[in-house]
Amino acid sequence: MVTLQMKNGEERLYPAGTTFMQVAEDISSKLAQNAVAVVFNEKLTDLNAEIPGDGALEILTFEDERAQDVYRHTSSHILAQAVQKLWPGTKLAVGPAIDKGFYYDFDSEHKFTPEDFNKLEKEMKKIIQKNYPILRREISQAEAIELFTQRGEDYKLEFIEDLPEDTVISIYEQGDFIDLCAGPHLPSTSRIKAIKLMSLAGAYWRGDERNKMLQRVYGTSFPSKELLDDYLYKLEEAKKRDHRKLGRQLDLFVVLDEGPGFPFFLPKGMIIRNQLEKFWREEHEKAGYQEIRTPIILNRSLWERSGHWDHYKENMYFTSIDEQDFAIKPMNCPGTILVYRQNLHSYREFPLRIGEMGLVHRHELSGVLHGLMRVRAFTQDDAHIFMLPDQIIDEIKNVFAMVDLFYGIFDFSYHIELSTRPEKCMGSDEMWDMATDSLRQALEEKGVDYKVNEGDGAFYGPKIDFHLKDSLDRTWQCGTIQLDFSMPEIFDLTYIGEDGNRHRPVMIHRVIFGSIERFIGILTEHFAGAFPLWLAPVQVRIMPITERNHFYAEEIRQYLKDLNIRVDVDNRSEKIGYKIREGQMLKIPYMLVLGDNETENRNLSVRKRRDGDVGAQSLEDFVQLLQHEIKNKVIF
């Protein structure tokens, strides 16, 4: 018998030779139907595999990201089988799962076009309907070389020959299709329920432009047509919501050839930016942060001491002043450290919270620049907290509270990832262990689920990243908490403790928005340009129907302006329907239509962006409505 420790703490006993699929069936038929793969003793494994011994078991369904990768990797094998069925002689390269989909690279005499997708999808559906069992076999390196030589799979042979001698090779079979693969995979082809081919691209073999250009076919798959349809709908919505398109349409920002990666904010975009920064300052002042401003250019010696020169130089810009080397700052922390060092600090000041809206510059390759999402100059809403070791957990929890406040304002949910020590880093093992354990403890005391990203921390410390989810279910990494024992050591930061001696503080680096520019890009797509009233560049537009109503319109405009409402008047001699349509295109939250009736009765005909005509209101009631929405930062 083997003993399984289930995720919920339950222990189950099964005879030797039982498969993981049989375990799922024993738990419930629904679980067996929805299961994709298992994690056994922390290793992702096929459902069809036999239980090798005692261990911890987690059965994964499609909701788990790891299961989605298995599901879509199996889909890529079905694509490859279909291609070789339709175009014999096609050679296989690689076919991994990617975020929300998969691809496969082919070397084929046939030139793929989008017109092939229908034929390919039909062939893929035939393979799915045949319900081929997907079988794993392990063979020797010599057997693998013989097998793939017979099949003419040159690219697979190259992979095999790169492996150490005597490596056990795993292959997967479905019908007459065989692929070199580490797995795992679904139990059979019929487990794939909804599949769609998306696009084509060229790709050099192994990403090396000296190698042959292959043909890459992209696709996606889901366990139901409804999920696939929802994904395709959101893809179309994302195209409509592209912040670059809306940025031009709404006069928010531009990126010009004269400054690639250096966005220009236009007056309306600056209103949004200023409102976000105002909110940031108000909340940070309430939370006990002090704001500073540090220079964007600092001497090379500072960056050498901080470790950026050795660990981050390829992402930095440099200049020379008075025959000395300087660098444009890629991060704000060294400047904040210099501010800290200007005074002798006492433990009574701690936690010392210092914030900065700091402009940083990072060199990005031109091919990855993307509107406001990937730029070369951006403003980080940085803060650095200096504290005692026994204050770490509470300060991390305080940052969590601020993250909840900020993201909740915009109706964002988020998930958390803990990133640990990277290969290239500074600081002792003891420091890294202490910092990582502190972050884990804070997460566990908060009782939140989190994913571990091994080796993805900053070069000076481990971090917690907040990945927010927008209205199209896309995730964006924005907030971060980085715990740092290294910088205080490197810069010899001290404070006077209760015992009168000098001690080393602990340092937290944290951001909430991440980058103001990127956050505005995310908000633009999240709200499809229809910003909530408190952020909208123009909050109210007044539309007099005839010239007779202009005086009343101006009276209303001045009244609202005196109350700090952002208001304008469209007094062009255009038809009122045209004015309303234009206001809708510009996504203005409220429009006031003023005709003779409104002028005579001293009231307003109000149109709301989401609801259309909401009828007549008094000016006093309308102002009360606006002030309520602005004060409470109402989203819709």
Residues 6+ apart with CB under 8 A from 362: 315, 316, 330, 376, 378
For residue 184, cis peptide bond before it (omega within 30 degrees of 0): yes
- Residue 458 above 90 pLDDT? no
Q: Kindly provide the b/e burial profile for residues 117-145, where b requires at least 16 CB atoms within 10 angstroms of the residue's own CB.
A: beebbebbeebbeeebebebeeeebeebb
- Give the pLDDT band (50/70/90) at residue 473: confident
**Model's pTM, two decimal places?**
0.84
Percent of the chain with pLDDT over 70: 100
In contact, 78 and 103? CB cutoff 8 Å:
no
Residues 6+ apart with CB under 8 A from 377: 261, 262, 263, 359, 360, 361
The residues of the chain that CATH labels 3.40.50.800 are 540-631
Look at residue 446 in the predicted model and tell me its pLDDT.
87
What kind of fold does domain 540-631 have according to CATH? Rossmann fold (3.40.50)
pLDDT digits (tens, 9 = 90+) for 551-598: 999 999 999 999 999 999 999 989 999 999 999 999 999 999 999 999
Look at residue 328 in the predicted model and tell me its pLDDT.
96
β-bridge pairing 540-544 and 590-594: parallel
Look at residue 515 in the predicted model and tell me its pLDDT.
94
Look at residue 459 in the predicted model and tell me its pLDDT.
84
- Give the pLDDT band (50/70/90) at residue 614: very high
Look at residue 396 in the predicted model and tell me its pLDDT.
93
pLDDT digits (tens, 9 = 90+) for 58-104: 999 999 999 999 999 999 999 999 999 999 999 999 999 998 999 99
Percent of the chain with pLDDT over 90: 87
Angle at which helices 154-162 and 141-150 cross, to 10°: 170
Look at residue 7 in the predicted model and tell me its pLDDT.
87
In contact, 508 and 336? CB cutoff 8 Å:
no
Look at residue 584 in the predicted model and tell me its pLDDT.
95
Q: Which two three-digit tokens encode residue 635?
A: 């989203």
The residues of the chain that CATH labels 3.30.980.10 are 66-237
- Residue 628 above 90 pLDDT? yes
Look at residue 471 in the predicted model and tell me its pLDDT.
86
Look at residue 1 in the predicted model and tell me its pLDDT.
87
> How many Å apart are CA 592 and CA 603, to the nearest integer?
10
- Give the pLDDT band (50/70/90) at residue 167: confident
Active-site residue list: 333, 362, 380, 382, 384, 463, 509
- Give the pLDDT band (50/70/90) at residue 366: confident
Q: Which two three-digit tokens encode residue 252?
A: 């928010």
Burial class (CB in 10 A: 0-12, 13-18, 19+), 63: exposed
pLDDT digits (tens, 9 = 90+) for 285-334: 999 999 999 999 999 999 999 989 988 889 999 999 999 999 999 999 99
Query: Which CATH superfamily groups domain 276-293+330-526?
Result: Bira Bifunctional Protein; Domain 2 (3.30.930.10)
Architecture of the domain whose range is 2-61: Roll (3.10)
Look at residue 39 in the predicted model and tell me its pLDDT.
95
Query: Which CATH superfamily groups domain 66-237?
Result: Threonyl-trna Synthetase; Chain A, domain 2 (3.30.980.10)
